[in-house]
Amino acid sequence: MSEAGGGRGFGSSVPQRAPWSLVAAAAALCLVSATSVWTAGASPMSREEKQKLGNQVLEMFDHAYGNYMEHAYPADELMPLTCRGRVRGQEPSRGDVDDALGKFSLTLIDSLDTLVVLNKTKEFEDAVRKVLRDVNLDNDVVVSVFETNIRVLGGLLGGHSLAIMLKEKGEYMQWYNDELLQMAKQLGYKLLPAFNTTSGLPYPRINLKFGIRKPEARTGTETDTCTACAGTLILEFAALSRFTGATIFEEYARKALDFLWEKRQRSSNLVGVTINIHTGDWVRKDSGVGAGIDSYYEYLLKAYVLLGDDSFLERFNTHYDAIMRYISQPPLLLDVHIHKPMLNARTWMDALLAFFPGLQVLKGDIRPAIETHEMLYQVIKKHNFLPEAFTTDFRVHWAQHPLRPEFAESTYFLYKATGDPYYLEVGKTLIENLNKYARVPCGFAAMKDVRTGSHEDRMDSFFLAEMFKYLYLLFADKEDVIFDIEDYIFTTEAHLLPLWLSTTNQRLSKKNTTSEYTELDDSNFDWTCPNTQILFPNDPLYAQSIREPLKNVVDKSCPRGIIRVEESFRSGAKPPLRARDFMATNPEHLEILKKMGVSLIHLKDGRVQLVQHAIQAASSIDAEDGLRFMQEMIELSSQQQKEQQLPPRAVQIVSHPFFGRVVLTAGPAQFGLDLSKHKETRGFVASSKPYNGCSELTNPESVMGKIALIQRGQCMFAEKARNIQNAGAIGGIVIDDNEGSSSDTAPLFQMAGDGKDTDDITIPMLFLFSKEGSIILDAIREYEEVEVLLSDKAKDREPEMENEEQPSSENDSQNQSAEQIASSSQEVDLVDQESPEESSLNSHPESLSPADTDNAASISPSEQNSNPTENHETTSLDGECTDLDNQLQEQSETEEDSNPNVSWGKKVQPIDSILADWNEDIEAFEMMEKDEL
């Protein structure tokens, strides 16, 4: 046992919680007591079923962790499709996502305390020994300070916290002598040079061996970081200080938080997404509760809980008040501008915000937590997982899903707060979906596209650190966990830190509040945890009654803009001009446009364009109305354009040894059998001769009754379809002739008809980029008989196939090679061109179009406000909410039809403008990812 700094050093024993630390423990205590509140509503789940589900979670964890240890360790992460370790530098770079990988066996460290929570004490003991034996923290690798802090420092501290708890119990870890803590301290010192800025905000990256700014370090020239990156250190750094007595870590984390607090936008009390670490200027002035900011808020509240320092609660409450005022638009949480917080900055939400209902539970604000959680659940029910980003009307905006745990986290906290068995059913659905759609023979694979069910060769460490903890604890009774979980607080990576730290080495705590804090008149803010007496006043159906109205929120979304119009009708005020009502021949409308600073430009080709100069508006309110009008117009166009776009389709290889696990994202055709509405075609594949399918086939006997493979090029898609159909094919797959093209990097491709009547084509036709196409061609070479399913979405594996796959090791190796073939589609460069002969004849050159992304449409980018975020408004014009809405819809359709000038959305958007918009979307999202993910 070792002591440090004269304090309760190194956590060599577990002190009892001091009486006054009730403040810190309050949140946890309240969560426990709340479980008894539920008495009616959803049917209770039996103890047996809960145990069954708990055991299922254990089995799933074994599958993920076992495969990591067997096939990837000591690499940082498992690549579950190719069943090998991801070693940085040996795989094609994925950009900033790779900054989490420091060649320090990331997944093992991130899994340490999960092992104890899941009652795998023996495995924990082994894992700790491996960390101590194998992990090197001195690698010449540039890593993210944020990720290294939450995953590695947090993982080591969580491991240490539970190691000393076990040691204290007297059975396991008797040999343990704070070695994990020593490693944590070593890592802490390695991160400190990142804080060498005048502001005290850390650089976003550091070289583990060489630190920062030395030439060998290859980092240190960055000027910006994300708010969450700079504001998510206090729990780990304070724990490190308090465990070791070395106060420097807590000091640095506090300084960074103090600086962020100073820099908050003073009138809105919001913070932006990225900040200049030298000047403190906001670089991105949009503000939400998801990517880039999320855990900054989380750590303010949890720092109060862990450290008992009132100033953190007061800061949190001030921000929370602003969030509820501007960002929360129940059930939505929408980014706004920090300077103009009434103006939305985006029309979509990201998946990271799913943690927020959990935080609201901790805060004690249950109603909005239930609402947002229910909205998210509806999105999940539609897509099986939460897409990385989705629009305000719940369309997929960014289709990936890297098995993020935030929704499970909120589900767990809501269950603890309400005791409502509904949340157990939600957890059950999460388990089912993971097993059905993400489970592969060698672990769990991230979803590349939730719409098609295709996979990515990726299993992030947070999946083991967080997902399994929350799912297990959801179904666990107190006696199913070997220690009292309420004695700990979860970090943002779900690592466990003991609440008794609040009374240990607390030299830095500031007990006094400053006069800077906003007076909040809402008595809600007095609470630090749910007061169940008040939240559920004699009403056991409380949570259910809040959820009920949201049940159809996804299917029948009611755009906010329409609600605003309704409101102004009710209040008798004159509604602002709506884009769909606008008529270019109506002088009154033209007058309103002018007031809003919007001018009309009549182009020579007959089109009309709109330009807004806010400065020319009659007032700032008119300017805002103008922005809203422009955004509505863009969305109206985009909506109409989208109606002509088909969603992606799936080609699923179902024969041995693939058994449905290989799902390829395919482009649809605007002709032939429509694979939506649950239609599908299944058959063996055969290459056509000639391979381009441009003339009558010379091998009809080979393609008869099969799905023909044809190469892109030389003639129209429709002509290829007719030739294979005449030869008796039941479907066709066109494979791109641009070598190296892939759905990973190219926008969805849609095959257009030939401009003539294509009703004679009755078979389904799909398009695969070259990388995906070669997976099928390779499979034919290796297995000869390859059967595929063409559908709108990957189907479950068939039970008999599940059985077939189990027994022989020969099968295993074949499975593996099948997955290896599949994984070859992962990393490629964008190579994408239209075949000239096809594009020249295509009536819709935009067939090369992004799926489900928001585009500006008839208004060309140059005419939009130069700051794209300035333009964003949340209105969306589809939906079927109210009579009023329908009325407006019908009215506008009639008016548009009768007015040739108002054909905004019907114009074809030039391809370069579509791509520019799409790239802008990607850049915005990549920026967001860079900021935090």
Chain contacts with ligand DMJ (rule: CB under 6 A): 150, 295, 352, 404-406, 462, 492-493
**317 burial via Cβ count (<10 Å: 0-12, 13-18, 19+):** buried
Q: What residues pair up with 687 in beta bridges, in sequence order? A: 709
Task: Indicate the SS3 state at residue 453.
Answer: coil
Q: 298, 309, 365, 388: which is the annotated catalytic residue?
A: 388
Q: State in angstroms the smallest separation of the CB of 237 from ligand DMJ.
A: 15
CA 926/CA 919 separation, integer angstroms: 10
Catalytic residue of the set 99, 406, 457, 931: 406
Measured from the CB atom, the residue of 364 and 405 that comes closer to ligand DMJ is 405
**CA gap 710, 767 in Å, rounded:** 10
Distance CA 21, CA 23 (A): 5
Instruction: Provide the pairing of β-strand 447-449 with 454-455.
Output: antiparallel
DSSP state of 402: -
> Whole-angstrom Cα distance, residue 130 to residue 25?
33
Least separation in angstroms between residue 696's CB and ligand DMJ is 54
CB of 150 to ligand DMJ, least distance (A): 6
Asked if 772 is an active-site residue, the reply is no
Q: Say if residue 331 is preceded by a cis peptide, omega within 30 of 0.
A: yes
Q: Whole-number minimum distance, CB 532 to ligand DMJ, in Å?
A: 27
Q: Are 416 and 35 in contact (CB under 8 A)?
A: yes
Q: What minimum distance in Å lies between the beta carbon of 24 and ligand DMJ?
A: 21
Q: How many residues does the chain have?
A: 933
Q: How far is the CB of 361 from ligand DMJ (least distance, A)?
A: 16
Pairing verdict, β 731-735 and 765-768: parallel
Q: CB–CB of 356/410 below 8 Å? A: yes
The pairing of strands 765-768 and 662-666 is unpaired
Nearest in space to 327 (alpha carbons), one of 346, 311, 300? 346
Residue where the block lists tokens 């033209």: 590
- Give the CA count within 13 Å in the CB-facing half-sphere of 38: 22
User: Is 294 considered catalytic here?
Assistant: yes
Task: Look up 286 and say whether it is catalytic.
Answer: no
**C-alpha distances in angstroms, 705 versus 193, 261, 603, 897?**
67, 68, 52, 45
- CB 694, min distance to ligand DMJ, A: 48
Instruction: Point out the catalytic residue in the list 98, 178, 294, 931.
Output: 294
Q: Which phi-psi region, left, alpha or beta, contains residue 245 (left: φ > 0; alpha: ψ -120 to 50)? A: left
- Distance between CA atoms of residues 668 and 752, nearest Å: 9
Alpha-carbon distance 346 to 194, whole Å?
32
**388 catalytic, yes or no?**
yes
Q: How far is the CB of 443 from ligand DMJ (least distance, A)?
A: 17
Closest CA to 329 of 48, 95, 557, 571: 557
Identity of the residue, 493 or 885, whose beta carbon is nearer to ligand DMJ in the bound complex:
493
> What DSSP string runs through 505-537?
S-TT---SPPTTSPP---GGGG-SS--HHHHST
CB of 133 to ligand DMJ, least distance (A): 26
| Residues labelled as active-site residues | 147, 294, 388, 406
